[in-house]
Chain A
Amino acid sequence: MADMDRSAALQQQVNNAIHAGTALNIRGSNSKHFLGRVADGEVLSLSEHRGMIEYDPRELVLTARSGTPLAEIESALAEASQMLTFEPPHFGENATLGGTLACGLSGPRRPYAGAARDAVLGCKLINGKGELLRFGGQVMKNVAGYDVSRLMVGAYGTLGVLLEISLKVLPRPASSLTVIHECPQTEAINQMSHLLSQPVPVDAACYHSGHCYVRLAGSEQAVRHAQKQLGGETLEKSAPFWLALREHQLSFFKSSKPLYRVLVKPATPPLPIAGSWLLDWGGAQRWLVSDEPVAVIRESVAAAGGHVSQFRASVQDAAVFQPLSAALFTIHQRLKNSFDPHRIFNPGRLYSGL
Chain B
Amino acid sequence: MTAEKTAINPHAHAQEVLLKGLLSLLPASLVLTDPEDLRPFECDGLSVYRRLPLVVVLPETIAQVQAIMRLCHKLRVPVVARGAGTGLSGGALPSSDGVLVSLAKFKKILNIDPQNAQATVQPGVRNLAISEAVAVHGLYYAPDPSSQIACTIGGNVAENSGGVHCLKYGLTVHNILMLKVVTMEGELLTIGAETLDAPGYDLLALMTGSEGMLGIIVEVTVKLLARPERAQVVLAAFDDVVKAGEAVGAIIAAGIIPAGLEMMDKLAIQAAEDFAHAGYPRDAEAILLCELDGTNAEVSEYIMAVRKVLTQSGATEVRTAVDEAERQLFWKGRKSAFPAVGRISPDYYCMDGTIPRRHLPRVLRQISQWSAEYGLPVANVFHAGDGNLHPLILFDANKPGELARTEEFGRRILQLCVEVGGTITGEHGVGMEKIDQMCIQFQSGELSQFHAVKAAFDPSGLLNPGKAVPTLHRCAELGAMHVHHGQLPHPELDRF
Query: Which listed residue (B117, B298, B430, B456) contacts A338, Cβ 8 A?
Result: B456
Contact present for B446 and A324 (CB under 8 Å): no
Contact present for A284 and B421 (CB under 8 Å): no
Contact present for B194 and A265 (CB under 8 Å): yes
Question: Whole-angstrom distance between the alpha carbons of A201 and B469 in the complex?
Answer: 41
Question: Whole-angstrom distance between the alpha carbons of A226 and B205 in the complex?
Answer: 34
Interchain nearest-CB distance for A111 vs B (Å): 6
Contact present for B115 and A267 (CB under 8 Å): yes
Contact present for B252 and A140 (CB under 8 Å): no
Q: Is there a chain B Cβ closer than 8 Å to A89's Cβ?
A: no
Q: Is there a chain B Cβ closer than 8 Å to A115's Cβ?
A: yes
Contact present for A201 and B298 (CB under 8 Å): yes
Cβ–Cβ < 8 Å partners of A137 in chain B: 421-423
Query: Which listed residue (B194, B298, B358) contacts A219, Cβ 8 A?
Result: B298
Q: Is there a chain B Cβ closer than 8 Å to A256's Cβ?
A: no
Q: If A131-B445, A324-B200, A331-B189 touch, does A143 touch B205 (CB 8 Å cutoff)? A: no
Contact present for B294 and A171 (CB under 8 Å): no
Question: Whole-angstrom distance between the alpha carbons of A326 and B434 in the complex?
Answer: 36
For A99-132 the 0/1 string (1 means CB < 8 A from B) is 0000010000011001101100000000100011
Q: If A139-B421, A147-B205, A307-B193 touch, does A58 touch B200 (CB 8 Å cutoff)? A: no
Q: Is there a chain A Cβ closer than 8 Å to B170's Cβ?
A: yes
Cβ–Cβ < 8 Å partners of B205 in chain A: 117, 147, 150-151, 153
Q: Is there a chain B Cβ closer than 8 Å to A264's Cβ?
A: yes
For B6-21 the 0/1 string (1 means CB < 8 A from A) is 0000000000000000
Contact present for B354 and A193 (CB under 8 Å): no
For B436-471 the 0/1 string (1 means CB < 8 A from A) is 001001110110011011111101000000001100
Of residues B189, B228, B297, which shows the largest number of chain A Cβ atoms within 10 Å of its Cβ? Answer: B297
Question: Whole-angstrom distance between the alpha carbons of A131 and B446 in the complex?
Answer: 9
Which of the segments B95-103, B158-166, B283-291 contacts the partner chain? Answer: B158-166
Contact present for B426 and A305 (CB under 8 Å): no
Query: Which listed residue (A114, A139, A171, A337) contacts B256, Cβ 8 A?
Result: A171
Q: Is there a chain B Cβ closer than 8 Å to A196's Cβ?
A: yes
Which of the segments B311-319, B370-378, B380-388, B401-409 contacts the partner chain? Answer: B380-388
Q: If A139-B356, A141-B171 touch, does A132 touch B445 (CB 8 Å cutoff)? A: yes
Q: Is there a chain A Cβ closer than 8 Å to B398's Cβ?
A: no
Contact present for B201 and A265 (CB under 8 Å): no
Cβ–Cβ < 8 Å partners of B113 in chain A: 265
Cβ–Cβ < 8 Å partners of A325 in chain B: 189-190
Cβ–Cβ < 8 Å partners of B191 in chain A: 328
Cβ–Cβ < 8 Å partners of A110 in chain B: 196
Contact present for B196 and A115 (CB under 8 Å): yes
Query: Which listed residue (B166, B167, B174) contacts A118, Cβ 8 A?
Result: B174
Q: Is there a chain A Cβ closer than 8 Å to B24's Cβ?
A: no
Q: Is there a chain A Cβ closer than 8 Å to B336's Cβ?
A: no
Question: Whole-angstrom distance between the alpha carbons of A324 and B187 in the complex?
Answer: 15
Cβ–Cβ < 8 Å partners of A60 in chain B: 252
Q: Is there a chain B Cβ closer than 8 Å to A251's Cβ?
A: no
In A133-154, the 8 Å CB interface with B consists of 133-135, 137-148, 150-151, 153-154
Q: Is there a chain B Cβ closer than 8 Å to A199's Cβ?
A: yes
Question: Whole-angstrom distance between the alpha carbons of A245 and B339 in the complex?
Answer: 52
Cβ–Cβ < 8 Å partners of A1 in chain B: none
Contact present for A144 and B438 (CB under 8 Å): yes
Total residues of chain A contacting the partner, CB 8 A:
86
Query: Which listed residue (B295, B426, B443, B452) contacts A142, Cβ 8 A?
Result: B426
In B262-284, the 8 Å CB interface with A consists of none
Q: Is there a chain B Cβ closer than 8 Å to A258's Cβ?
A: no
Q: Is there a chain B Cβ closer than 8 Å to A230's Cβ?
A: no
Contact present for A134 and B446 (CB under 8 Å): yes
Q: Is there a chain A Cβ closer than 8 Å to B419's Cβ?
A: no
Contact present for A141 and B388 (CB under 8 Å): yes
Which of the segments B48-56, B206-214, B478-486 contacts the partner chain? Answer: B206-214
Contact present for A201 and B255 (CB under 8 Å): no
Query: Which listed residue (A144, A321, A322) contacts B441, Cβ 8 A?
Result: A144
Contact present for A148 and B449 (CB under 8 Å): yes
CB nearest neighbor in A for B468: A145
Cβ–Cβ < 8 Å partners of A285 in chain B: 196-197
Q: Is there a chain A Cβ closer than 8 Å to B198's Cβ?
A: yes
Question: Whole-angstrom distance between the alpha carbons of A154 and B388 in the complex?
Answer: 28
CB nearest neighbor in B for A118: B174
Q: If A141-B427, A196-B116, A327-B188 touch, does A58 touch B301 (CB 8 Å cutoff)? A: no
In B385-439, the 8 Å CB interface with A consists of 386-388, 421-430, 434, 438
Cβ–Cβ < 8 Å partners of B40 in chain A: none
CB nearest neighbor in A for B116: A265
Contact present for A147 and B173 (CB under 8 Å): yes
Cβ–Cβ < 8 Å partners of B428 in chain A: 143
Question: Whole-angstrom distance between the alpha carbons of A290 and B457 in the complex?
Answer: 38
Question: Whole-angstrom distance between the alpha carbons of A179 and B73 in the complex?
Answer: 57
Contact present for B354 and A139 (CB under 8 Å): yes
Question: Whole-angstrom distance between the alpha carbons of A141 and B170 in the complex?
Answer: 9
Interchain nearest-CB distance for A163 vs B (Å): 14
Contact present for B210 and A146 (CB under 8 Å): yes
Q: If A193-B115, A222-B294 touch, does A127 touch B196 (CB 8 Å cutoff)? A: no
Cβ–Cβ < 8 Å partners of A154 in chain B: 197, 201-202
Query: Which listed residue (A61, A219, A321) contacts B200, Cβ 8 A?
Result: A321
Known: A143-B430, A327-B189. 5 other contacts (CB 8 A): A56-B358, A143-B428, A145-B438, A305-B194, A338-B452
Interface positions of B (Cβ within 8 A of A)? 113-118, 137-139, 159-160, 162, 166-167, 170-171, 173-174, 187-191, 193-203, 205-206, 208-211, 214, 224, 226-229, 249, 252-253, 255-257, 294-298, 300-302, 354-358, 383, 386-388, 421-430, 434, 438, 441-443, 445-446, 449-450, 452-457, 459, 468-469
Closest A-B pairs by Cβ, 4 of them? A150-B205, A338-B452, A221-B297, A222-B298
